Chains A and B, each alone.
Chain A
């Protein structure tokens, strides 16, 4: 049995944040009906591409974000679409909407309209919420991280602030939206409450526990503002350091972590109490001595050799992996970070696997991401339209 078996989600979201929220639900067993615009979710245009060959069904971004979902293509601006939307809403235990406020109203997908059809929880994912001076402003992953999160203190002081890798900010927002969605579903199923749940992306990042929320409170407490450091690293021997085949992240700044590091490296010179004295930080000679010892130990060893030693010594050191390293790593493979999907047309291909394992109700891929409009007819039939009506909807350009 799947954890979210029996939950039907009607999903009007597109791109990355909303679809990641509904992917999390779909991979735990919810049935997600993804409503795509004619031409498809714009994320179908984003790489990487299967076999480096672009195509509407070959997008890595889309394939990852839409596993286990059904796709129906509807033109929400077409006359005659309303009864279709109403019947789909009636099938749903959760409706997900992610349009700019003005567009949402034009499309008739405001909460009041949906509730008029069915008293069901509605998750509204938006850039900046439904009010306030930025309400209608645009966002990208980079602008979101710049405004909402701790970009201000990421990077070095002599250069521009830096974003995270990939589109991590949007993925995080999707996960937060999934929490809100499941809260709303639980409230609906356990207590009979239908309600609107708004998740503005800006607010999600303002609440980011990767320092932003702390940095803001620190400012309120002290007037101090997080800045970018003059350089990476810190303490006696912390930060990223090279080794034989790449880099490792080291924390050996002081106290217990220093002792474990010194024990692991094994050079008697590191047992000198001076290394635990913060004043040693300012002594270039001592630091040169430490660098010689530490690099003498690190540089001949591979990342995995170092990590093996560090795990034995309980030292805080870990290798910097690339995605290729992760893909080839037998331990991550065995643990199930990777899986495979079977696509109706493209055949089998590898897929990034689960963020968690639930022993009783396993995370699982039932189906690859849907082809554009793959389930249009089936869903319309399930919604009660007969063959002639479906044909008419297609002719009128309502469905595709």
Chain B
């Protein structure tokens, strides 16, 4: 694999926060762009590098593992360099610090923009404008710049001032109302935020398309991914049933919008073990019936078609749950797949981390220990390129890790200027008192 990386030579100025924006730049970095994360020692961006700048082991244990599971539940003095929620999306990136709110800071950022190809941001609407980095200014600094804005509800229209994290955008996008248990009110819906993931994916697609256009024409442009719009595009079945037939879809629980019957999640022998089973075709149903030993209830001809099975879905689910409850989760998974039935275990984080298939196919790579985290396995990107070395090339960037490189090599500043900027609080590998307190 000696071919160049696809985005070799592309530089990205990264003002992104939380997941939706930071994952856009992760994909661009994976593909070979030089992503320079712009960080400010005087500002703490919520849910961007960690849940809080000061964290104790007790606080970590009170948080759910995905957010509080810092190494050994002890984040040490720099929680922003070892949060399980955010550190992985810092892979392949570079971090430099500057206080963009000051005149000299703004000059530095503009100087970086002038040397860059893409700018990505998902700060609250208007934040960049207030800094003096509105689109027109950015384009005057770098005429062929590709600018990606990722506002929650768009930069235009009455909802542009809407605030929120993924859960609020997913609520508006119609995602929240579609999940939950059947027959229960949305009150009981717990939070997941699929929209964050999807907004990051859509954002990267749009930037890549714009980069292709730029390479062919020399033209940059402004892109907007409204995260609510992006999330709504995950649910075309509900959207078109509304637009075409006036129907407001509600939750199906684990049943299938594609009409697969049965389609659900069933208990296995050990407490806490579950298996998902889908009969996508009548052939798969027939295979399942054979697997069950062709009991009389299942051989009923009325169940031979999906429409027929839909009439008896409750009963089928009870019978299946009764069956799966007597079996080992993983053995049943393999046996069902071998029998031609679509099935899979509901994998916990521990099971996924040790999954034999992921291990055999190289889904992880080991990174050495740093002062902030121990040697451990990290996920590699889910796209495997046969020639270009797309992958986990450099570890998650620590706060301010690449100040020397950015100030000296990218911006071309000398010792004296760098010392002045350091003294003025722009250059740091830790947060200032404004964030950390006395």
Contact = CB atoms under 8 A, between A and B. Distances in A.
B215 A160 contact: no
A195 B240 CA distance: 37
A219 to B, nearest CB: 4
B6 A183 contact: yes
Nearest to A174: B201
Interface residues of B, number: 167
A199 B349 contact: no
Given A4-B209, A28-B209, A206-B382, 14 more contacts: A46-B237, A147-B352, A177-B383, A183-B208, A186-B211, A187-B5, A195-B385, A197-B386, A240-B171, A247-B177, A311-B161, A335-B226, A356-B203, A358-B210
A218 B19 CA distance: 16
B56 interface: no
Interface in B322-359: 337, 340-350, 352-353, 356-358
Interface string B226-237: 100110111111
Given A3-B209, A323-B241, A175 B258 contact: no
B248 to A, nearest CB: 4
Given A316-B165, A321-B177, A327-B242, A212 B352 contact: yes
Contacts of A190: 6, 8, 215
Interface in A307-366: 307, 310-312, 314-327, 331-332, 334-335, 337-338, 349-361
Interface string B253-284: 11011111001111100000011111010001
Contacts of A50: 244
Given A184-B6, A206-B358, A160 B382 contact: no
B296 interface: no
B241 A140 contact: no
Contacts of A178: 201, 205
Contacts, number: 549
B240 A358 contact: no
B159 A331 contact: yes
Contacts of B253: 162
User: In the complex, which of the residues B187, B206, B247, B256 has the most CB atoms of chain A within 10 Å of its own CB atom?
Assistant: B206
A109 interface: no
Contact of B383 (A63, A197, A218): A197
Interface string A80-99: 00000000000000000000
A228 B353 CA distance: 18
A358 B209 contact: yes
Contacts of A110: none
Interface in A165-215: 165-168, 171-172, 175-180, 182-187, 189-191, 193-200, 202-204, 206-215
A239 B191 contact: yes
The 7 closest A-B pairs by CB, nearest first: A165-B178, A218-B69, A360-B221, A187-B6, A140-B278, A60-B240, A323-B242
A320 B186 CA distance: 9
A179 B25 CA distance: 12
5 contacts: A47-B241, A51-B244, A210-B166, A240-B188, A316-B165
B3 interface: yes
A154 B192 contact: yes
A142 B256 CA distance: 8
A244 B284 CA distance: 45
A52 B247 CA distance: 10
B158 interface: yes
B70 A182 contact: no
A153 B110 CA distance: 43
Nearest to B239: A352
Contacts of B169: 318
Interface in A62-114: 63-65, 111
B45 interface: no
A4 to B, nearest CB: 6
Interface stretch (B84-92, B407-415, B416-424): B84-92
Interface string B125-156: 00000000000000000000000000000101
B258 A141 contact: yes
A89 to B, nearest CB: 17
Contacts of A314: 161, 163
Contact of A165 (B4, B164, B238, B246): B238
B233 A321 contact: no
A176 B201 contact: yes
B436 interface: no
A179 B208 contact: yes
A139 B178 contact: no
A57 interface: no
B229 A337 contact: yes
Interface in A12-34: 24-25, 28
Interface in B268-306: 274-278, 280, 284
A146 B204 CA distance: 26
B244 A349 contact: yes
Contacts of A116: none
Contact of A320 (B176, B205, B223, B342): B176
A3 B243 contact: no
Interface stretch (B100-108, B373-381, B426-434): B373-381
A225 B66 CA distance: 8
B360 interface: yes
B213 A182 contact: no
Give the interface SS of chain A, mostly helix, strand, loop or mixed: mixed
B168 A316 contact: yes
B173 interface: yes
B167 to A, nearest CB: 5
A33 B210 CA distance: 22
Contacts of A273: none
Nearest to B219: A360
A183 B30 CA distance: 10
A232 B192 CA distance: 11
A269 B243 CA distance: 45
B223 A193 contact: no
Contacts of B121: none
B346 A207 contact: no
B188 A156 contact: yes
B361 to A, nearest CB: 4
A229 to B, nearest CB: 6
B162 A335 contact: no
B382 A176 contact: yes
A182 B215 CA distance: 13
Nearest to B277: A143
Given A209-B200, A311-B162, A355-B225, A323 B248 contact: yes
B69 A222 contact: yes
B245 A64 contact: no
Interface in B306-332: none
A247 B187 contact: yes
B198 interface: yes
B343 A143 contact: yes
A268 interface: no
Contacts of A64: 236, 239-240
A185 B212 contact: yes
Given A146-B344, A232-B190, A356-B202, A160 B274 contact: yes
B212 A133 contact: no
Given A132-B361, A162-B179, A147 B344 contact: yes
B175 interface: yes
Nearest to A171: B234
B65 A226 contact: yes
A231 interface: yes
Nearest to B67: A214
A217 B84 contact: yes
